[in-house]
Amino acid sequence: MSAIAEKKVGDTLEPVTLSPVSRLDLIKYAGASGDYNPIHTIDEEAEKAGLPGIIAHGMWTMGNLSKLFTPYYDEGFIETYQIRFRGMVFLDDVISLNAEVSEQAEGKITFNVNAKNQKEEDVLKGTVVFRTY
C-alpha cells in the first residue's frame, strides 16, 4: 500500500465491494450504534412507513465507507467527513465504496467519496479531508 501523502489528483484508494446487505448487518449496527429505528430491522414497520422493505441505516453505509481510510491512520486522520444520503440501501444490495483524490495541498488531501449500489446509483456522496502529520 502506497503512502496516502503521495496520492495525486485523480488517484483512487483501493475500492471495496461489500457482501450483499443482510438483516444481520443491520441488526448488528442497530445494537452497536443504539439506533433502533424499526424501519431498519422489522419488515412490518418498514412497510408501514411506505417502504418496500427494510432499509440500511445511512450511518451504516457511511461507517463502512470510512474504512477506505483506516489503513492510513499512522499518516494522518480524517479531519472532515461530509456525506449526503442520496439513495436508500435495501437488503441484498451490493454496495461498492470509492474514494478519489480531488485536491492535494500541503498536509491536506481532499477526496471525493461515494458508495454505489449494484445499479451504479450513488447511495452516498461526499468528501473526506484527510490531514497528514
Partner 1 sequence: MFEEAIGKGSNKVRNTVERGAVRKFADAIGDAHPIFVNEEAGKASRYGRNIAPPTFPRVFDYGEIVGLGLPSKGLIHGEQIYHYTRPLLVGEDIHCWTEVKDYKEKAGKSGTMGILTLEGKGEDSEGTLVFRAEQVVIITEAVRKGMEA
Residue numbers of the site for partner 1 (CB under 8 A)? 18, 25, 28-29, 31-35, 37, 39, 49, 58-60, 62-64, 66-67, 70-71, 73-74, 77-85, 133
Q: Work out how close the CB of 108 gets to partner 1 at its nearest, in angstroms, rounded to a whole number.
A: 13
Q: How far apart are CA 65 and CA 82, in angstroms?
A: 11
Q: Work out how close the CB of 39 gets to partner 1 at its nearest, in angstroms, rounded to a whole number.
A: 8
Q: How far apart are CA 25 and CA 122, in angstroms?
A: 20
Closest CA to 54 of 67, 71, 41: 41
Closest CA to 54 of 30, 31, 33, 83: 30
Q: Work out how close the CB of 131 gets to partner 1 at its nearest, in angstroms, rounded to a whole number.
A: 8
Residue whose CB is less far from partner 1, 80 or 118: 80
Residue whose CB is less far from partner 1, 8 or 19: 19
Contact between residue 132 and residue 96 where contact means Cβ atoms under 8 Å apart: no
SS3 30: helix
Q: Work out how close the CB of 29 gets to partner 1 at its nearest, in angstroms, rounded to a whole number.
A: 5
Residue whose CB is less far from partner 1, 11 or 79: 79
Q: How far apart are CA 41 and CA 23, in angstroms?
A: 7
Residue whose CB is less far from partner 1, 10 or 70: 70
